[in-house]
Every structure is written in C-alpha cells, then in structure tokens.
C-alpha cells in the first residue's frame, strides 16, 4: 500500500476575500482549503496535488447566515451542521436543514462547509441538489469583481462547476418563498454513507411542482411539472415518465426505480408538511 501523505505544498491563510483572491491569482496551481473533508483525503491519496493551499477558514466574512427581506444569504464557510441546526434555516428552509443532517457523520458535518460541498460538486451530494431545488444563486468572486450564477447553471457536469480559474464561491443566496412546500428523501446503503439516490419535491400554491434528483446522473437533475397530480396513480405515472428520461450514471434499472420511490417519499413529506 502506498503512503497516505500528500505532496509538499505552500500554505497561505489570508484573512480577507481580497487577499485570498490575490493568492489565487498569483500562486500557480493553488487550491482553496475549506473544511478539508474532500480535498485532504484526495491529497493524501495523491489524486489531487496542489502546489499551494489557500486556507480560507480565517475569513470571518464567509461564515455568516443573514436573513434579508426576500432571501437568506449563506456564507461559503457555513458548516453542514450549522445548516442543520440554524433556527432561521429550520424556519425558512426545513428541507435544507433536514438534508444537511444526512451528510456523513457529525465530525464531517462539523468541518465540511457549504462552499466546499458545492464546489466539489459530487453528484451524490445533498447540498448541490438542495440549492438547485430551492433556486438559489451562487455569488462568486475573482480579482476583477463578482458575478452571480443560478444554481441550475452552476453544476455543469461530473464534479465540475461554472467557476472559472481564479474565482471562489463566497456566498449562496436562497430566495424566500411563501408559496412552495418542499419534501426530501434519500436512500443510502448505510447511515453516514453518501446517498445512492435522493430527491427533493416542490409543490407550489398553484398546484405546479418540481422534482430534483441527485445520485442519478453527473449533476442534480431538476424537472419542473406544470401540474403535480394529487391522484396517487397519476403521480406515480408522472414520476415514472420523468425517471425514464433521465440519463443515468450506471445501474440504470436500480437508480430509476429508486428515483421513482424517493420522489414519492419526498412528495409524502410535502403532504405532511402542509398538514403540520
Ligand atoms: C466519510 C465521509 C462521508 C461523507 N459523506 C457525505 C455525504 O453523505 N454527503 C455529502 O454531500 N458529502 C459527504 N462528504 C463530503 C463532505 O460533505 C465535504 O465536507 C464536502 O464535500 C467538501 O466540503 P469541505 O468544506 O470539506 O471542502 P474541501 O474538502 O476543503 O474542498 C473541496 C473542494 O472545494 C474547493 N473549495 C472549497 N471551498 C471553496 C470556495 N469557497 N470557493 C472555491 N472553491 C472552494 C476546494 O479547493 C476543493 O477543490 C463526506 C466526506 C467524508 C470524508
């Protein structure tokens, strides 16, 4: 067995976004270090060999949760467990808090960050799909300024995002919606494992809806529905039709079957939430 040690690397710990961006622009082959829960194992296995790490954990401006009139802004350094426990997130986006609680184990949730999860863009991750389902907008920064990217355009493929070289994710803007109710369900082989397949379902006040699946293809799959059927048989047919058209990673029969089952379980949570 090979050594579980990373290559040697330079290490910087800036205390502002501007200095982090300056480091990114000037250091060749540099990577941001957030919670380290994906990057450090990849470095130890030498799957990733950055020449320089820019540790953003000292940048307080990235660690906020701010409730505004029409949205909640989450800093890139907000930890998974904070998302799970934060009273404002539980109040406004219970489905996001629930999904964050399914990530790995407590030790991972205490260190892993929202920004790290979104930029890592593992297709089996909860948070990228949650952000697509909630129609969040990513705020990214580079030395030339900031830009905003809708979550549905941020995830472009297998562990690939729309971030350009030299850019970092600074925050995520999640719009407040009083007219939609969401449900979430996932299946993992063991507690704490990555999900095999998961689903978020939305029902809007006008009876339209949407399903966002993860773990089925190389990125979250959002499917709007002009009408989300109340009738169970019609709904089942709708899930089946949508799942049949998914471009599935592998094990297509199993993943499509789970996509249907989990969409329905997520829908049942929507019904429970409405009653509650
Ligand atoms: C045993 C185990 C189980 C896990 N289970 C799950 C699970 O069930 N579901 C799940 O979703 N995840 C799971 N994870 C992954 C976990 O959620 C990680 O925390 C997450 O994927 C990465 O977040 P991080 O903050 O640790 O990022 P890091 O590991 O520090 O970084 C990950 C990548 O993102 C980049 N990056 C980080 N922050 C930024 C930023 N602000 N701007 C630009 N680039 C940035 C880094 O350069 C790196 O390329 C698991 C991890 C482990 C070790």
Q: Is residue 4 part of a domain?
A: no
- Same domain, yes or no: 148 and 209: no
- Same domain, yes or no: 104 and 191: no
- Same domain, yes or no: 148 and 235: no
- State which of 175, 207, 238 marks the end of a domain: 175
- Same domain, yes or no: 126 and 199: no
Q: What is the pLDDT of residues 100-115, one digit of tens each?
A: 999 999 999 999 999 9
Percent of the chain with pLDDT over 90: 93
pLDDT band at 3 (very low <50, low <70, confident <90, very high): low
**CA angle, 99 as apex, 93 and 105 as ends, to 5°?**
135
- Same domain, yes or no: 169 and 80: yes
- Same domain, yes or no: 41 and 25: yes
What is the reported pLDDT for 2?
A: 56
Across residues 42-63, what is the average pLDDT?
96
Domain of residue 233, residue span:
180-275
CA-CA-CA-CA torsion for 240, 268, 95, 182, nearest 10 degrees? 70
Report CA(34)–ligand 1 centroid distance (Å).
8
What is the reported pLDDT for 275?
A: 47
> How many domains are contained in the chain?
3
What is the reported pLDDT for 73?
A: 98
Residue of the nearest CA to atom 20 in ligand 1? 117
- Same domain, yes or no: 47 and 84: no
Handedness of CA 272, 214, 204, 231 (dihedral sign): negative
- Same domain, yes or no: 50 and 96: no
Using CB distances shorter than 6 Å, the residues near ligand 1 are 31-39, 41, 76, 103-104, 108, 112-113, 115-117, 119-120, 122, 125-127, 168-169, 194
Report CA(40)–ligand 1 centroid distance (Å).
9
Q: Could you tell me the CATH number of the domain that includes residue 18?
A: 3.30.43.10
Report CA(121)–ligand 1 centroid distance (Å).
8
Q: Is residue 2 part of a domain?
A: no
Q: What is the pLDDT of residues 160-189, one digit of tens each?
A: 999 999 999 999 999 998 789 999 999 999
- State which of 125, 142, 175 marks the end of a domain: 175
Residue 222: strand, helix, or coil: strand
| Nearest Cα residue to 221 out of 200, 240, 252, 204 | 200
Reported as half-sphere exposure (CB side, CA atoms, 13 A), residue 166 has a value of 11
- CA dist 29 and 111 (Å) reads 24
pLDDT band at 276 (very low <50, low <70, confident <90, very high): very low
Mean pLDDT score of the chain, rounded to an integer?
Answer: 95
List of residues 6+ apart from 88 with CB closer than 8 A: 65, 67, 72
Reported as half-sphere exposure (CB side, CA atoms, 13 A), residue 16 has a value of 4
| Nearest Cα residue to 111 out of 8, 40, 14, 49 | 40
- Same domain, yes or no: 168 and 70: yes
- Same domain, yes or no: 138 and 115: yes
- CA dist 99 and 95 (Å) reads 6
| Nearest Cα residue to 15 out of 59, 55, 50, 48 | 59
- Same domain, yes or no: 187 and 217: yes
């Amino acid at each position: 067995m090979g050594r579980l040690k990373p290559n040697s690397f330079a290490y910087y710990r800036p205390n502002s976004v501007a200095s982090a961006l300056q480091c990114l622009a000037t250091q060749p082959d540099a990577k941001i270090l957030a919670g380290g829960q994906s990057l450090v194992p990849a470095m130890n296995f030498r799957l990733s060999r950055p020449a320089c790490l820019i540790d953003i954990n000292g940048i307080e401006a990235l660690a906020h949760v701010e409730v505004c009139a029409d949205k909640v802004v989450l800093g890139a350094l907000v930890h998974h467990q904070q998302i799970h426990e934060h009273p404002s997130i539980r109040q406004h986006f219970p489905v996001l808090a629930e999904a964050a609680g399914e990530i790995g184990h407590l030790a991972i949730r205490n260190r892993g960050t929202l920004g790290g999860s979104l930029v890592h863009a593992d297709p089996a991750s909860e948070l990228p799909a949650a952000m697509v389902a909630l129609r969040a907008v990513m705020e990214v920064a580079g030395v030339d300024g900031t830009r905003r990217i809708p979550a549905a355009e941020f995830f472009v493929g297998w562990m690939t995002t729309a971030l350009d070289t030299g850019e970092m994710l600074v925050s995520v803007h999640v719009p407040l919606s009083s007219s939609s109710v969401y449900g979430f369900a996932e299946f993992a082989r063991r507690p704490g494992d990555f999900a095999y397949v998961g689903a978020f379902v939305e029902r809007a006040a006008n009876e339209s809806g949407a399903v966002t699946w993860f773990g089925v293809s190389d990125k979250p799959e959002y499917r709007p529905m002009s009408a989300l059927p109340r009738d169970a048989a019609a709904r089942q047919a709708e899930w089946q039709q949508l799942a049949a058209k998914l471009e599935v990673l592998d094990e297509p029969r199993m993943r499509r079957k789970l996509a249907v089952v989990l969409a329905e379980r997520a829908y049942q949570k929507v019904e429970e939430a409405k009653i509650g």
